Amino acid sequence: MSLRTLLLCCCAASMAESWRQTSDPRDELPELHIAGLFHREDWQDILAFRAAVDRINMDKLVLPHVRLVPIVEIVSPVDSFSTGKRLCNITRQGVSAVFGPKSSETLGIVTSICETLEIPHILTHWETSPRPAKFQINIHPDPKSLSQALVALLDDMAWRTFTIIYENDDGLVRLQEVLKVHGPRDNPITVRQLGEGDDYRPLLKEIHNTSESRLVLDVSTERIVDLFLQARQVKMMGDYTSYLVTSLDAHTLNFSVVNSWITDKRNIANITGMRLVDPTSIDVQNAVQDWVFSERLRGNTINITPEEVKTSAALMYDAVHMFAKSLHRLNQTAPEIYEAPLQCDGFQKWEHGERLITFMKMTYSNPANEERGMTGLIALDPSAEYRRTNFTLTLVETNSNNATGTWNMTGIHLFRSVEEMERSEKQKLSKKLMRVVSRLGAPYLMKLDNWTEDSRNDGLEGYAMDLIHEISLILNFKYEFYLVKDGKYGSLNPTTKQWDGIIKDLLDRKADLGICDLTITYDRERAVDFTMPFMNLGISILFSKPQEPPPNLFSFLSPLSLEVWIYMATAYVGVSLLLFVLARITPYEWSNPHPCNQEPTELENTLNLSNSIWHNIGSIMQQGSDIAPQAVSTRMVAGMWWFFTLIMISSYTANLAAFLTVNRMDDTITSAKDLAQQNKIKYGCIEGGSTQAFFKNSNFSDYQRMWAAMEAARPSVFPKSNAEGVDRVLKSKRSYAYLMESSSIEYEVERHCELMQIGNHMDSKGYGIAMPMHSWYRTLISGAVLKLQESGKLAALKEKWWKQMHGGGKCQTKEASAGEASANELGLDNVGGVFVVLISGCAFAFLVAVLEFILNTRKVAIEYKISPKEALLMELKFALRCRGTTKPVHPNRESTPSSADTQSVVQLNNFKRLVANPDK
């Protein structure tokens, strides 16, 4: 207890003794005594009690013909026998009402005496009685309604998880509505008792180790400042910690002591409280002046301001006025009330007690008679056992004593708009140096050549730095990067339940922001807060590209398989033979070779075997021939053959374009399922990351099989970093696949042209900026990220660091040029086989022509009876002359022997002349 409080308590005791000897200087009026039972520390309540009586006695409109006499009794808070004895001494003199006491240990005996003697009993403190006594009225706000106010405030502040610190069992009763609305499916809340003694640090350390930063304090007002001083020693008074104080007197405390201990005034915990007394109210200010004036008349000097008025004192002031005004109204409608001495051990009861208490309840339960006092509107609810449910609480930041809003039966009403609160938070953020923790990993954060341990921002670059810089331009704050010591993202150890990496630094409040390729996961989001994702992605497979097959001169045969080619050749030969046989069988294919001769001696069939073969080959080549079938049967065969060649040649032509312009690659795997179903290619992911956690916790059968294979693989398939995993893929010669986020795969594929991404995303997730749990600037950072996304800045940053910086985009350029050449040009490697076929066919045709020439030369030599050499030279000389289009006919085999020699000589001479001079 402070020295000031001790002196005031002594002063209050002396004033209580001196008051009994003080007489009213006014004319003698009928007196009514009202008794106030107080404890020694209730000096403000005594001031309010006596000042209220003085104000009423001076008021000519309230009880003008009656003089109230206050009786102040200082009673023990634990000695109920002494308290009862003192009250009985008062009732022997006569009393109209009893006010107090606060102590639950002595309240029972006082209530029993008042009920027995039927004396109105007026309370001004919180009490848990389920049903008030018949002659009892309590103008303290209803505990259930106060709990509803706490529920509404917690909901408005979006506190889904928090820790409750209570002092005694009464605190649990006050918070019962808070506990009721928290269902089993909601986020867990913790309830801890403050315990005995004055050292709260062990409890606070335990709470601090759980990373809890939101606390509801239901402790006595006298212990709040000490609790905050000790909380500061265990680092629980920073700006990440928020307190909700349930005491209605928290605003009267001197928080300057707590604030003076905190060196960084920008990092002070947010302490929110509720008050029933509004120091700015004119009623409160006038009442405080009455208190000072009343004590000055008694020769006492006190210094008290409206901000120091406790709720119990204000309620006591209002309770006395409530009693006096009710008594005044009752005297106007009924005979005046007078006192009577009553014995606690007697049978006599006060005859006016029941009528007075009933009238008070009915008066203040009628909306037309509601009064306003220091505690606002005074109204009793008949549906709630005449408790006070309709009241207004002011929400305040108790460490700064700034009012932020009000609560009443209709809900929370804030004084500031959302825009005003956002401006206030921005202003607060602009004064804060944000420490940003990250880890090295291209392109998010990379070292520059001039980097040192102390260089901070100047020695680093990357996507993460550019993103934080853009956010800082929007929100106007300063930032400082540093690297996490263990180089890890942050994972939860299932045994120790401890985090590592970036998440640990955020939990320890070493950093304000954490950014890199940090995936938002369920476990991480339970430990820290995340902004909205600044990049969406999924797990995919990084693998080496297969080697392109060597060029094949006969790639034009690829559109059809070997067996199809064999079947086509067989069909060609079979249909040609069938056409030849049918042509010989049908009589309609035999025709007159000389149409002018009406009676021919022989008929001719043009569809001999060679012509049938030529007819069908012309159909295949889409060229046709001048040989046409005449009979119905042969035409049907020809028509079916034409339909067959139409389909086959069209299919070949369509498929040939794809085979000549697209280089087929031998992809051994195309999806995660292919990986799971084989054991030749090893695969893995980064150790301790979200990708590893995804496969470890997945319920999908293929992913479970993959996790079992990865976990059993030896040597380990879990690299320490993405760079190590990419290097392993490059050196493995298609024997290792790396599972990583698609955004990182995009970055590597842009720089390593021999790598590629395989399959679709196995999941869907995002990268977010992490921050300590319940960070007050989370909404601001998320809003800045959304603004950058809508403006296209995020896309521009990704374009910069993925495709422009540090060798990005070169593989895309190569692929584009290769694709353009493949689509528009065919190289000799693609169509060279066609030239080979053409040259081979021409060479074979030349050999056939030579053979035909030699055979013809031999025939000429025999027919003309000349030497083969002479016939060869003569035929060769004629063939090599490029002029002339006629040639003498050789002797007719059917000429008579008598004339053969003469005719041969003549023809030979003509042939020689033609050879010598073909123009004549």
Dihedral, CA atoms, 537, 538, 541, 542, nearest 10 degrees? Answer: 20
The answer to whether the annotation marks 741 as part of a ligand binding site is: yes
Q: Which of 796, 809, 687 is nearest to 747 (CA)?
A: 809
Please check whether residue 543 is in contact with residue 737, taking contact to mean a CB–CB distance below 8 angstroms: yes
Phi-psi region of 118 (alpha: psi -120 to 50; beta: other; left: phi over 0): left
Query: What are 832's two structure tokens?
Result: 């060279």
Query: What are 338's two structure tokens?
Result: 């007078």
Question: What residue type is 356 in one-letter code?
Answer: L
Residues making up the chain, counted from first to last = 920
| Residue bearing tokens 């080496």 | 544
Please check whether residue 773 is in contact with residue 208, taking contact to mean a CB–CB distance below 8 angstroms: no
- The CA-based angle 866-868-873, given to 5 degrees, is 95
Query: What are 767's two structure tokens?
Result: 């990268």
Please check whether residue 702 is in contact with residue 751, taking contact to mean a CB–CB distance below 8 angstroms: no
Q: Residue 161 and residue 547: Cα distance in Å, rounded?
A: 56
The answer to whether the annotation marks 96 as part of a ligand binding site is: no
Distance from chain centroid for Cα 675 = 30
The answer to whether the annotation marks 495 as part of a ligand binding site is: no
The answer to whether the annotation marks 602 as part of a ligand binding site is: no
Query: What are 587's two structure tokens?
Result: 């009589």
C-alpha distances in angstroms, 811 versus 246, 663, 670, 750, 816?
A: 64, 17, 21, 6, 8
The helix or strand, by DSSP H or E, that contains position 905, with its residue range, turns out to be: helix 897-916
Question: What residue type is 167 in one-letter code?
Answer: E
Q: Which of 116, 29, 560, 596 is nearest to 349 (CA)?
A: 116
Please check whether residue 257 is in contact with residue 13, taking contact to mean a CB–CB distance below 8 angstroms: no
For residue 545, the 8-state DSSP code is P
Q: Which residues, in sequence order, are CB contacts of 663 under 8 Å at separation 6+?
A: 548, 549, 822
- The CA-based angle 810-812-817, given to 5 degrees, is 100
443: cis peptide before it, omega within 30°? Answer: yes
Q: Residue 612 and residue 621: Cα distance in Å, rounded?
A: 15
Q: Which of 99, 822, 842, 637 is nearest to 645 (CA)?
A: 637
Distance from chain centroid for Cα 308 = 46
| Residue bearing tokens 């938070």 | 425
Q: Residue 887 and residue 910: Cα distance in Å, rounded?
A: 10
Work out whether strand 529-530 and strand 604-605 pair parallel, antiparallel, or are unpaired. unpaired
Q: State the helix-helix crossing angle for 690-697 and 701-712, rounded to 10 degrees.
A: 120
Q: Residue 695 and residue 705: Cα distance in Å, rounded?
A: 9
Query: What are 334's two structure tokens?
Result: 């009924």
Q: Residue 865 and residue 768: Cα distance in Å, rounded?
A: 104
Q: Residue 621 and residue 645: Cα distance in Å, rounded?
A: 9
Work out whether strand 433-438 and strand 513-514 pair parallel, antiparallel, or are unpaired. parallel
Q: Which of 23, 490, 47 is nearest to 295 (CA)?
A: 47
The answer to whether the annotation marks 18 as part of a ligand binding site is: no
Q: Residue 307 and residue 281: Cα distance in Å, rounded?
A: 11
Residue 792 φ/ψ, nearest 5 degrees:
85, 5
Q: Residue 459 and residue 449: Cα distance in Å, rounded?
A: 7
Q: Which of 436, 531, 537, 538 is nearest to 787 (CA)?
A: 531
Annotated binding site: 519, 524, 690-691, 741
Annotated binding site for L-glutamate: 519, 524, 690-691, 741
